[in-house]
Chains A and B, each alone.
Chain A
């Protein structure tokens, strides 16, 4: 039984992290057609926010709670800066944006190395997350449950924002038809900026969860970003429900592969799975039919 439950539960937690990382990606990808390769660095920024917060507020029980909103704002501001300074100059050049953000990601990683050093700065977990609960032979850490709750909260918040607020309506209008939205009086530039802020901020929140797993290091984002992109590709662009299903599918599949073979082979197998899946559904799980997107 535990051979079945362990990867399932551990994989769900990994999937939750991928989900938080992918939410921002799919949002900006769907809305602006922008691939932000520096998105992983927003995870890293979130993790370092958690670390710095803990240096100031040494009580680990409190500092994590403080770090969550802080990470959202800090990573969001970095995202906003990126949008204003770089990305807004190159809409309609999606491949070039991708490469420019690769450059930004290199700069941010080196910046983190210069400020914090190359090796992991550990964030101490709060005592209310220490411990675990036995589920069919797997000592399921509270920390993993917390990650899942966090991801679902982020998802719920985002879905509510999109569905019930006027701003959400503007986002959806922009995604579906940018020109038409603009003629209806939606300032798509402003919408873009806020979307970028929210997407990057969510990655920052994800970074706090990542900081609880291992050491906080400058390359932390790299480990998640490729998987998060695979999630976006497999889920279909701009689609929340596709992203959710794909995130948990990729997380759980990787955990099972890791259980059967090794952590390295699991990466290889997951990639093969996504490529095979794209043979069946080249546009991902779900697609929106629009005129605005290629």
Chain B
């Protein structure tokens, strides 16, 4: 074959894979799945969106982000606050504020009446939070395990804070009882499918973003920083800035995933964003292949599906599966299942050589 053609095909392969996933999620799934199963798939897609960001930060950037639930939560709660206010009507306040509080709405809720503000906040809130946190951590060259532990502690603290601020955030119960999504009745199956399609579209969009990032100069610098931070520094780049960008993009993706999770699941509560939920997000990334383009998303979809199916058949055994998944995959297949073909091929090559 013409070598230029081969190169072109190889270059286009990721795009073809993304397109295939798009067809699967946007055309095949809605046509074949019941409304209940489609809604479940929508939830997995939200986790997959966050997983794509984790792939960027952890797989390519070497930053083990163990607190992505926080950013998932920022987006999820921002969206849920808007939906809650939409359900309360203009002038109205969310029901729980009268139940648990004194019936006045905290000031920070007010701007979320505006849909436009909410959409902006879903992107800006996590970006600002991640920038401040990342700045404080990376500039002081805190990395590796320290970074991982701090992010997990952050997730614990975030969930505690939500539970403790019951009058402002609904506490342990979280936010639910949404009625409409930007004017569309959320209990209408047609609109449910629309919300699902938006989530699936966003997943594809996020995949395209990381695909572009991975082929860019930035993507190469990020991998270089992961593998040899000091050398990157000696070459005149500031690794802190490179890591910061990846961390912020990952945070924004988690936030987008959370924002779609709220209308699809119909609820967002501290248990969806705490340390355990954050670890759950990582599980899919590890399974699928952290440094691959599609690995994190496919892994997250698989783990999400596994959670539903296994918990329906073996309610108590599900935790064992999740725990053993970490042990087996990371111990034996650190690059993930998605990388299995290449691992096998190189093993074969070594044995024949």
Q: Does A173 contact B (CB under 8 A)?
A: no
- When the two chains form their complex, are residues B148 and A114 in contact, meaning their CB atoms are under 8 A apart? no
CB within 8 Å of B: which A138-153 residues: none
User: How far does the Cβ of B160 sit from chain A's closest Cβ, in whole Å?
Assistant: 5
A275 contacts partner chain B, Cβ-Cβ < 8 Å: yes
* Chain A residues positioned under 8 Å from B20 (CB to CB): none
Which of these, B146, B149, B324, contacts A103 with CB under 8 Å?
A: B324
B322 nearest in chain A by CB position:
A106
Chain A residues whose C-beta falls within 8 Å of the C-beta of B282 in the assembled complex: 99
| A226 partner residues in chain B, CB cutoff 8 A | 149, 152-153, 156, 275
The reply to whether B320 and A107 form a contact with Cβ atoms under 8 Å apart is yes
Closest CB-CB distance, B250 to chain A, in whole Å? 16
Which residues in A have their C-beta under 8 angstroms from that of B279? 102, 106
A89 within 8 A of B: yes
14 A–B contacts, CB within 8 A, in A order: A90-B331, A104-B323, A106-B320, A106-B323, A106-B326, A107-B320, A109-B319, A113-B319, A230-B153, A233-B149, A264-B163, A271-B156, A278-B150, A282-B142
Residue of B nearest to A110 (CB): B319
Instruction: Scan residues 119-158 of chain B and give those whose CB is less than 8 A from a CB of chain A.
Output: 136-137, 140-142, 144-146, 148-150, 152-154, 156-157
By beta carbon, the residue of chain A nearest B152 is A226
Please name all residues of chain A whose beta carbon is closer than 8 Å to the beta carbon of B331 when the two chains form the complex: 86, 89-90, 96, 100
Q: Residue A35 at the B interface, CB < 8 A?
A: yes
Complex CA gap A90/B324 in Å reads: 16
Contacts of A29 in B (CB 8 A): 145
Q: What total of chain B residues lie within 8 Å of the partner, measured CB to CB?
A: 38
Shortest Cβ gap from A220 to chain B (Å): 15
Measured in the bound complex, the distance between the Cα atoms of B282 and A245 in whole Å is 33
Q: Decide if A229 is an interface residue (CB 8 Å cutoff).
A: yes
B327 close to chain A: CB less than 8 A: yes
When each residue 55-97 of chain A gets 1 if its CB lies under 8 Å from chain B and 0 otherwise, what string results? 0000000000000000000000000000000100110011110
Q: Are A102 and B164 CB-contacts (below 8 A) given A86-B331, A275-B150?
A: no
In the assembled complex, which residues on chain A have CB atoms less than 8 Å from the CB atom of B327? 86, 100, 103-104, 107
CB-CB under 8 A from B149, the residues of chain A are 35, 226, 229-230, 233
B156, A103: Cβ atoms under 8 Å? no
A93 to B323, CA, bound (A): 19
CB distance from B4 to the nearest CB of A (A): 40
Instruction: Say whether B140 contacts A110, CB under 8 Å.
Output: no
Q: Are B144 and A95 in contact (CB under 8 A)?
A: yes
What CA separation (Å) do A265 and B137 show in the bound complex?
23
- B residues with a Cβ closer than 8 A to A are 62, 64, 136-137, 140-142, 144-146, 148-150, 152-154, 156-157, 160-161, 163-164, 275, 279, 282, 286, 316, 319-320, 322-327, 330-331, 334
B145 to A95, Cβ gap below 8 A? yes
Cross-chain contact A103 with B322 (CB below 8 angstroms) = yes
A282 to B11, CA, bound (A): 43
Q: For the complex, would chain B's binding face be called helix, strand, loop or mixed by DSSP majority?
A: helix
Q: How far is the CB of A73 from chain B (nearest CB, A)?
A: 24
Q: Does A5 interact with chain B (Cβ within 8 Å)?
A: no
Tell me whether A194 is interfacial, beta carbon within 8 Å: no
Q: Are A267 and B160 in contact (CB under 8 A)?
A: yes
Q: Which residue in B148, B152, B156 is a CB contact (below 8 Å) of A267?
A: B156
B64 & A95 in contact (Cβ 8 Å cutoff): yes
Known: A99-B326, A106-B326. 5 other contacts (CB 8 A): A95-B64, A95-B145, A96-B334, A102-B279, A264-B161
Report Cα–Cα, A96/B332, bound state, in Å: 11
Instruction: Identify which of B153, B322, B324, B325 gathers the most chain A CB atoms within 10 Å of its CB.
Output: B153
Q: Which residue of B lies closest to A294 (CB)?
A: B144
Cβ-defined contact, B148 with A98, below 8 A? yes
| Closest Cβ neighbor of A113 among chain B residues | B316
Task: A102 to B62: give the CA distance in the assembly, Å.
Answer: 18
Q: Is the CB of B145 within 8 A of A103?
A: no
Given contacts A86-B331, A89-B331, A99-B286, contact A271 B153 (CB under 8 A): yes
4 closest cross-chain pairs (CB), A and B:
A103-B326, A264-B164, A106-B323, A107-B323
CB distance from A108 to the nearest CB of B (A): 8
Q: How far is the CB of A217 from chain B (nearest CB, A)?
A: 15
Most buried by B among A33, A103, A104, A278: A103
- Which residues of A lie under 8 Å from residue B154 when comparing CB positions? 271
B140, A279: Cβ atoms closer than 8 Å: yes
Chain A 264-292, CB-CB to B under 8 Å as 1, else 0, gives: 11011001001100110010000000000
